Amino acid sequence: METPGFLEPFVGRWTKRHLLDLESLTSDEITLLLDVAQAFKESTQDCRHKLPLLTGRTSVNLFFEDSTRTRTSFSLAARRLGADVIEFSASSSSLSKGETLLDTAKTIQSMCIDTLVCRHKAPGTPQMLAENLDVSVINAGDGPHEHPTQGLLDILTIRQHRGDLSGKTVAMVGDIAHSRTARSNIWGLQKLGAQVIVCGPSTLVSRRWEEYGVEVSHDLDAILPRCDVLNLLRIQFERQYTRPFPSVREYALLYAMDQKRMQRAKPDILIMAPGPINRGVEITPEVADGEHSVILHQVNNGLAVRMAAMWLLSAGRAS
């Protein structure tokens, strides 16, 4: 299929083979990814219609951690672009027989694939694959390091609802210590001019985060009136060896976004969450489903961002 007119302005502007993080991207590269994602949304009725731009190409989802949104979104994005999709399952693969991850990846690569989408609990795994394979690698989350497409879809959602990010104050609240989403958001938001606050218990938000140029707070009620956006991060109990606070009830009392706190927030505050959400822990049901919530918009934007990334890394990349 020939490149449709709405994508013509973007052809050849992307030069990277992989998408591994937002830390290494420039503000222009991040803006390009967002612009292409927005173009896909507007030209396909919110990514509902197919555009067979990657017909004949194959994408493999190599996931070593559980996932609902990210895995489904990558699969659907590839299919919307006409690519074939292979779903890899670690539990039923030769990894259980002792094969290394790299040997498994090289075996899959030998089947003439084009893109490898990788999620792994170990930071740096997508980078290692990118250095040893001849296919494009997309990081779908590597431990607590980065989750670039989640960061992009969060930023795209803010841009759609609040316009230019310059001067906006975005607070991420919750388990910052274990959050790859937080790191990708910090890099992306700051490069586009937003002011970032990380907020949560001191056991999950250390003062070391100030080295990233962000403001650190342990008091949600104190920062709330200044925030244009709240991104409520899940407490990742599965990555913790000890409980970082005395009880879930106490955490909810201090950090959950509820109707009482909404009354003290800006009238147009945007409520976000990367999901999955724990209702009653980070956010109450009435806020999660309320008029300020854009949580499901984020999910739809994930599809657009992943279509944009896959197209730019293959058909849209400079030769």
**69 a known binding residue?**
yes
In the block, tokens 């499901």 appear at 296
**244 a known binding residue?**
no
**150 a known binding residue?**
yes
**119 a known binding residue?**
yes
**276 a known binding residue?**
yes
Q: Which residues contact 25 (CB under 8 A, 6 or more apart)?
A: 33, 148, 187, 188, 191
**275 a known binding residue?**
yes
- Long-range pairs for 209-216 at CB < 8 Å and ≥24 separation? 209/176, 212/186, 214/186, 214/190
Maximum Cα–Cα distance for the chain, whole Å? 59
**180 a known binding residue?**
yes
**174 a known binding residue?**
no
Beta-carbon count within 10 A of 225 CB = 10
Residue 152 φ then ψ, to 5°: -65, -45
Q: Which residues contact 44 (CB under 8 A, 6 or more apart)?
A: 50, 51, 80
**147 a known binding residue?**
yes
With beta carbons less than 8 A apart as the criterion, state whether 245 and 201 touch: yes
In the block, tokens 């084009």 appear at 114
Residues flagged as binding site: 69-70, 97, 119, 147, 150, 180, 234, 275-276
Which residue ranges make up the annotated binding site for carbamoyl phosphate? 69-70, 119, 147, 150, 275-276
Task: Specify binding-site residues for L-aspartate.
Answer: 97, 180, 234
